[in-house]
């Protein structure tokens, strides 16, 4: 190997190590009715997270009148602009970067990916309302110096049926927000999105089915990721945009790798080992890849000492063995 080749190879290795070191090690911070302070942010720092996703909400109360209600005094503090600004200040003081990720909630918990209108008039009503929602929080994101802004979450029908609206919306968002922009596509949606070339990250909510076993081992989880990972890499190669897991995580429940998106509150056995193995495996598979930007764990509550725990089968890793695993992984 001659000197020139050696220098180039060394520079490439240094760049690769830098990219790996700069991963987004994020948590999805749940909006609440309360303001927050150092004591709510401290546990986030203690697991070595360097990013938090703040999630303001807009609500559609009646699908036949698709007006989005947002920034309303009836909403919880953390779901409104005032709350996002206050949360951002608390996180910024501790050196944690931010993604602002506005989301829709449809009455009775209807899945947002199926949201579609029956008439052109209703489409226009929805689009104008959604644009107002997104642009307001894009301006907020700019004002608080957020690092990433997400223009939508799991809106497959809306995105595929009305692509021109989204392409235009991205242009409008860029006029008011100067940071990085993404969209959070569901795990079965990301290959259909046509506007990735306009964004900075390919955002994926990574609830891919990876194992049918009751308690998959780390190896079981990793084996289940192989085919999904190959398809994700193909999308990266097509657009040359880093992959960002806008959400990822597992419940501490039996068969957690079978339908990781399932959040129904049915009675089920707590399985702390399965959650722990799932987090270890997803880190093993992705965090070392140069084309992978990182991700935001779903999800983290502000009252750390009173949530999660060894009898909890929900997504949060708080006060479970998975919290220590997360701390070790994010600390690497």
Give the tokens for residue 271.
Answer: 């399985």
Mean pLDDT of 222-248: 98
Write down the mean pLDDT value for the chain.
Answer: 93
4: pLDDT confidence band, cut at 50, 70 and 90? low
Cβ 264 vs Cβ 278: under 8 Å: no
Q: What is the mean pLDDT of residues 202-211?
A: 98
Number of folded domains that form the chain: 1
Please write the tens of the pLDDT for every residue from 57-115.
999 998 888 999 999 999 999 999 999 999 999 999 999 999 999 999 999 889 999 99
Instruction: Report the C-alpha gap between 111 and 119 in whole angstroms.
Output: 20
pLDDT category of residue 56 using cuts at 50, 70 and 90: very high
The alpha carbon torsion through 155, 161, 165, 170 (nearest 10 deg) reads 50
Residue 13 lies in a domain: no
- Contact at 8 Å (CB) between 269 and 313? yes
* 16: in domain: no
Q: Please tell me whether the peptide bond between 236 and the residue prior to it is cis, using omega within 30 degrees of 0.
A: no
pLDDT at 3 over 50: no
pLDDT of 11 higher than 60: no
Question: What is the tens place of the pLDDT at every residue in 253-298?
Answer: 999 999 999 988 666 799 999 999 999 999 999 999 999 999 999 9
Q: What percent of the chain has pLDDT over 90?
A: 89
Residue 5 is assigned to a structural domain of this protein: no
Rounded CA separation 184/205 (Å): 6
Domain assignment of residue 229, given as a range: 24-331
Q: Say how far apart CA 314 and CA 316 lie, in whole Å.
A: 6
pLDDT of 12: 41
């Amino acid at each position: 190997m001659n000197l020139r080749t050696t220098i180039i190879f060394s520079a490439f290795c240094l760049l690769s190590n830098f990219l790996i070191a700069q991963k987004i090690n994020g948590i999805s911070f749940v909006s609440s009715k309360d303001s927050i302070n150092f004591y709510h942010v401290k546990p986030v720092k203690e697991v070595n997270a360097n990013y938090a996703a703040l999630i303001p909400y807009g609500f559609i109360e009646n699908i036949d009148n698709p007006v989005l209600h947002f920034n309303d005094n009836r909403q919880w503090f953390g779901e409104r602009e005032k709350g996002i600004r206050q949360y951002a200040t608390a996180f910024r003081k501790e050196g944690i970067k931010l993604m602002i990720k506005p989301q829709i909630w449809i009455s009775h918990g209807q899945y947002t990916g199926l949201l579609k209108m029956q008439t052109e008039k209703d489409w226009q009503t929805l689009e104008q309302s959604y644009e107002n929602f997104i642009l307001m929080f894009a301006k907020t994101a700019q004002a608080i110096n957020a690092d990433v802004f997400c223009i939508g979450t799991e809106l497959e029908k809306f995105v595929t049926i009305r692509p021109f609206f989204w392409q235009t919306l991205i242009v409008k968002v860029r006029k008011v927000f100067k940071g990085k922009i993404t969209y959070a596509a569901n795990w079965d949606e990301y290959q259909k999105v046509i506007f990735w070339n306009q964004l900075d990250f390919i955002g994926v909510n990574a609830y891919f089915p990876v194992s049918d076993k009751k308690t998959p081992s780390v190896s079981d989880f990793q084996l289940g990721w192989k085919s999904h990972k190959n398809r994700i890499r193909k999308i990266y190669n097509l657009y040359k945009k880093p992959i960002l897991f806008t959400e990822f995580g597992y419940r501490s429940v039996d068969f957690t790798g079978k339908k990781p998106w399932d959040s129904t509150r049915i009675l089920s056995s707590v399985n702390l080992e399965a959650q722990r193995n799932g987090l270890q495996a997803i880190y093993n598979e992705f965090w070392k890849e140069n084309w992978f930007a990182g991700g935001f764990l779903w999800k983290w509550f502000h009252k750390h000492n009173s949530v999660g725990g060894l009898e909890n089968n929900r997504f949060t890793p708080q006060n479970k063995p998975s919290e220590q695993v997360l701390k070790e992984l994010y600390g690497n």
